[in-house]
């Protein structure tokens, strides 16, 4: 979370990412990077916006290798 992307136009608190495998669906590995748009005042949990970047890959390694490039794309926005 955070880093150099904190305070970007689409994100109050940086970004959070997720890599997951869709075993029952198409078998792809998915990466989503979502902005943190706020904090839940009752539980202090982050509130996420819609994914700023979402991509699918054939293998977990391809997905992992793509993450730095995806983060660079966020810096360019």
Instruction: Give, for 70, the enclosing helix (H) or strand (E).
Output: helix 60-76
pTM of the entire predicted model:
0.74
pLDDT in tens, 36-52: 888 888 888 888 999 99
- Helix (H) / strand (E) element for 21: namely strand 15-21
Domain boundaries, the chain: 3-76
Q: What's the pLDDT band for 34 if we cut at 50, 70, 90?
A: very high
Q: What is the DSSP string of 26-45?
A: T--EEEEEEEEEEE-TTT--
Per-residue pLDDT at 7? 52
Q: How far is CA 51 from CA 31, 41, 57, 70, in A?
A: 10, 22, 16, 12
């Amino acid at each position: 979370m955070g880093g150099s992307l904190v305070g970007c136009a689409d994100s109050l608190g940086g970004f959070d990412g997720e890599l997951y495998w869709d075993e029952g669906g198409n078998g792809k590995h998915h990466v989503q990077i979502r902005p943190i748009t706020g904090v839940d005042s009752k539980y202090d949990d982050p509130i996420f916006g819609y994914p700023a970047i979402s991509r699918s890959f054939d293998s977990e390694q391809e997905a992992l290798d793509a993450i730095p490039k995806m983060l660079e794309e966020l810096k360019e926005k």
